[in-house]
Structure 1
Amino acid sequence: MTTELRVLSPTEWDVWYGGLERAFGDGDKGSEHRELVRSLTHYDRSLGAYDGGECVGTAGSFPFRVTVPGGSLVPSAGVTMVSVAATHRRRGILTSLMRRQLDDVRERGEPLAMLLASEPAIYGRFGYGIASRRLRTDVDTSRVRLNGPAEDGDSIRLRQVAPAEGMAACEAVYAGTVPSRPGMIDRLPGWDRLQIFDRDPSAPLQCVLAERDGEPAGYALFRNRASWNAAGPDGTVELRELNALDPSSYAALWRFLFGIDLTSTIACDNRPADDPLFHLVSDPRRCALRVWDGLFLRPVDVGAALAARTYRVPVDAVLEVEDSFCPWNEGRWRLSGDPKGAVCERTADPADMVLSVRELGALYLGGTSLRELEGAGRVRTLSPAVVETASLAFGSDVAPWVPHDF
């Protein structure tokens, strides 16, 4: 049995998306959600594998720009909607999709590809490394106090609005935070609607804005899920997203969430690894912190990717890169960089370290240290002094983070 791989046609979208829903076990989310996803689909970046008229594999990407250390926005393929039908596993369909997709990304001149993995074990063999981490937390607000900065008098005003009404203000705040943290994605048109799409009428999405002198300075998107036990109210605030432009606005939003009546827990699925929240709470042990993988990243063009970011300290190192899946990346690269910029070019000079493209992806945003990977045996050091400097150079003062799925 053979399968045909081809670029998605608009007339095939329903069959294609239906195959994706079956593979993920998703129920029908309704026509409004389907039309929103359809409107965000980039057909020329979407692939389908077909067995006759049946769609048995899917893969797509978005033409994102992602913040890298130094603050630049770098073109990156946001890989998404990857699936293989349960009836067609172990036939090389996923490998074929990944092969075609990375070839296409290279032709478009995008130096990076990135994804959020439903199953982390899948993507290492295609060169994707874990470049950021996310924190999950359940804050026991009945036992934990918030010790934030003093309220800023009358200069910060909290205002609850309908999510659609607050959408423009939320997006303005989000855009203001994008340059400040590696891993942040410059949202494409229409993505604001996806962030406020409400699939749960039992606990509708709510929005609170923090405003300073009449201008948006922060926002929180959340649900208030009611619950009662024998002792009384025991509701949960389910936080979808919280961003702020300054510490006072940030603390004011958390103070609001802590004070919502009839609740005793704030549940968050995705906070940055260096979230200031955990320096504001009285008892971090009662926040039930769990670390998860976040963004998976792979350089598609090693030279262009390493030259696109800056480095914390001056570095001059030769990296021998292994990349059997994208062999154009294999070989030795001399990286010369500092806080102002970088150059990365082919070289015949002896290597200072040997690593695979997966480890290079893990290093890229500064959320994983070279020493970590060396300790795990994932990097082979040939020049210890150079590697020590490179470990400092690749780091980031701010932990990389992607605040939403894609």
Structure 2
Amino acid sequence: MGHELRVLRAEEWDVWFRQLELAFGGAPEPAEGRELYRDLTEIDRSLAVWDGDDCVGSASAFSFRMAVPGGAVVPAAGVTMVGVAPTHRRRGVLTSMMRRQLDDVRAGGEPLAVLTASDPAIYPRFGYGIGAYGLSMEIDTTRVRVSVPPGADAVRMRLVDPLEALPACERVYAALVPGRPGMPARQPGWERQGLLDPVSERGGKAPLACVLAEGPDGEVLGYARYQVNPEWERKGSAGSVEVLQLDAVDPAAYAALWRYVCGIDLTWTVRAHRRPADDPVLHLVTDVRRSQLLLRDALHVRLVELGAALEARSYGVPVDVVLDVADEFCPWNGGRWRLSADASGVSCVRTGDPADLALSARDLAAVYLGGNSLLSLAAAGRVRELRPGALAVASRAFAGDVAPWLPHGF
């Protein structure tokens, strides 16, 4: 069709980003967010499709490092800013960008690519599987209380300026990364994302607030960033709290932070999004039904170099299994691979031995972070057991100790 696909030039960023806004409905990004994304954009990893002088497609990637089961932090391409002009849908624009991007990721030596999907039905055909889920909740604090463990009463809550508290909050975040697969290690500049608070986006909410949870010696054990929405009805206050981030390195501090946000005066509802699927708060609230839980896809994972990706993580039990993997979009991953893991290490190499399990690269990506089980996928007909007993052992090996979690978008 005469389209030109090439790497973006720095002077084209405004046109390119405006195309992205139009692809997502046309609403302009607030100035603060626009400035941040301009600074974070890696120009040499950004692709543009042109039809003459018109930019009709965009895609980019961030150079992330992401935690995987076992605590390793692995290079991963954070696929982002993917959009196609409504005038150019179903012309192969997206496929051409995905093809070029995954080839580039492979050439750059990154074993993984990850993304968040505006439409989760789009990316399975490119080999992405849902690797992590996010939990949303709306807690009715008129009926729900937070039960705290011993030590929570000794935790001090201190309101601070969000910018001044940033270094302390970042230390807490960094300490959590190795223990939670899916968490990106914070790259320079990304700490600014959690402070975005454009007035145009508040919708009547108060400015961003930050509270620190401190131990007896003043050490910062956790933090919460939140906004209060001070609403009123004829019968009285009807305010709510939106929890934007809440992290802690200590169970007592974690519970104390939830008790704090659920006890703010003149508010009766606490809303939180992008929480881990196994968030400990589920064991702290006194009535989980009145916490209105909703689970949805959060992080989509693509194994770009299958062998390197599987060798980068650890496994829950010793395993020796031959995987017959189908991968049409990245054919270099297709074929049989022997995965062997025990206390001495992990190996994943090509083999001519008979296969024990057959599955697609998409389904292997879905279990990579430990957020889904091979047994569950087999029950859905997406994994076939070719050697009796192999499925149960492999499923236990891939299982994670905690649910994978993506704490913020990109």
Give identity over the alignment, percent.
58
Match of 2:48 in 1: 48
Aligned residues of 1:310 and 1:339 also touching (Cα < 8 A): no
Shift of 1:98: 0.2
Aligned residues of 1:310 and 1:340 also touching (Cα < 8 A): no
Question: Counterpart of 1:124 in 2: which secondary structure?
Answer: helix
Aligned residues of 1:69 and 1:396 also touching (Cα < 8 A): yes
Distance in 2, Cα, partners of 1:31 & 1:233: 33
Structure 1, 235-244 or 29-38: larger mean CA deviation: 29-38
User: Are 2:208 and 1:205 aligned?
Assistant: yes
Distance in 2, Cα, partners of 1:77 & 1:69: 18
Cα deviation digits, residues 94-127 of structure 1 (max 9, x gap): 0000000000000000000001111100000000
Match of 2:300 in 1: 296
Aligned residues of 1:5 and 1:48 also touching (Cα < 8 A): yes
Change (3 A) 1:216 1:59: same
User: Are 2:76 and 1:76 aligned?
Assistant: yes
Given candidates 347, 352, 362, the residue that maps to 1:348 is 352
Residue type matched to 2:9 in 1?
A: S
Question: Counterpart of 1:250 in 2: which secondary structure?
Answer: helix
Aligned residues of 1:309 and 1:341 also touching (Cα < 8 A): no
Distance in 1, Cα, partners of 2:210 & 2:343: 38
User: Are 2:151 and 1:122 aligned?
Assistant: no
Cα deviation digits, residues 145-173 of structure 1 (max 9, x gap): 1111134454x221111211111111111
Match of 2:269 in 1: 265
**Which portions of structure 1, spanning 4 or more consecutive aligned residues, are displaced by more than 6 angstroms?**
none
Match of 1:359 in 2: 363
Distance in 2, Cα, partners of 1:269 & 1:32: 22
Residue type matched to 2:258 in 1?
A: W
Residue type matched to 1:66 in 2?
A: M
Aligned residues of 1:151 and 1:252 also touching (Cα < 8 A): no
Distance in 2, Cα, partners of 1:274 & 1:153: 24
Distance in 2, Cα, partners of 1:31 & 1:269: 24
Residue type matched to 1:9 in 2?
A: R
Given candidates 285, 288, 292, the residue that maps to 2:289 is 285
Question: Counterpart of 2:259 in 1: which secondary structure?
Answer: helix
Aligned residues of 2:373 and 2:399 also touching (Cα < 8 A): yes
Given candidates 362, 372, 381, the residue that maps to 2:376 is 372
Count of residues in correspondence between the two structures: 405
Residue type matched to 1:60 in 2?
A: S
Change (3 A) 1:214 1:323: same
Question: Counterpart of 2:164 in 1: which secondary structure?
Answer: helix
Distance in 2, Cα, partners of 1:206 & 1:290: 25
Counterparts of residues 150-161 of structure 1 (less than 5 Å): 150-152=150-152, 154=154, 156-161=155-160
Cα deviation digits, residues 168-220 of structure 1 (max 9, x gap): 11111100110111111001101111111112353211111112222221011
Distance in 2, Cα, partners of 1:31 & 1:321: 45
User: Are 2:317 and 1:313 aligned?
Assistant: yes
Counterparts of residues 227-246 of structure 1 (less than 5 Å): 227-246=231-250
Q: Give unmatched runs, 5+ long, in structure 2.
A: none
Match of 2:149 in 1: 149
Cα deviation digits, residues 28-78 of structure 1 (max 9, x gap): 334332221111010111101111111111101111111111000011001
Counterparts of residues 9-24 of structure 1 (less than 5 Å): 9-24=9-24
Distance in 2, Cα, partners of 1:125 & 1:108: 22
Residue type matched to 1:229 in 2?
A: E
Shift of 1:383: 1.1
Question: Counterpart of 2:12 in 1: which secondary structure?
Answer: helix
Distance in 2, Cα, partners of 1:117 & 1:339: 36
Aligned residues of 1:353 and 1:387 also touching (Cα < 8 A): yes
Distance in 1, Cα, partners of 2:191 & 2:10: 23
Distance in 1, Cα, partners of 2:126 & 2:116: 14
Question: Counterpart of 1:118 in 2: which secondary structure?
Answer: coil
Distance in 2, Cα, partners of 1:150 & 1:228: 36
Give the TM-score of the pair, scaled to structure 2.
0.97
Question: Counterpart of 1:265 in 2: which secondary structure?
Answer: strand
Shift of 1:269: 1.5
Aligned residues of 2:68 and 2:369 also touching (Cα < 8 A): yes
Given candidates 397, 401, 408, the residue that maps to 1:404 is 408
Q: Give unmatched runs, 5+ long, in structure 1.
A: none
Match of 1:136 in 2: 136
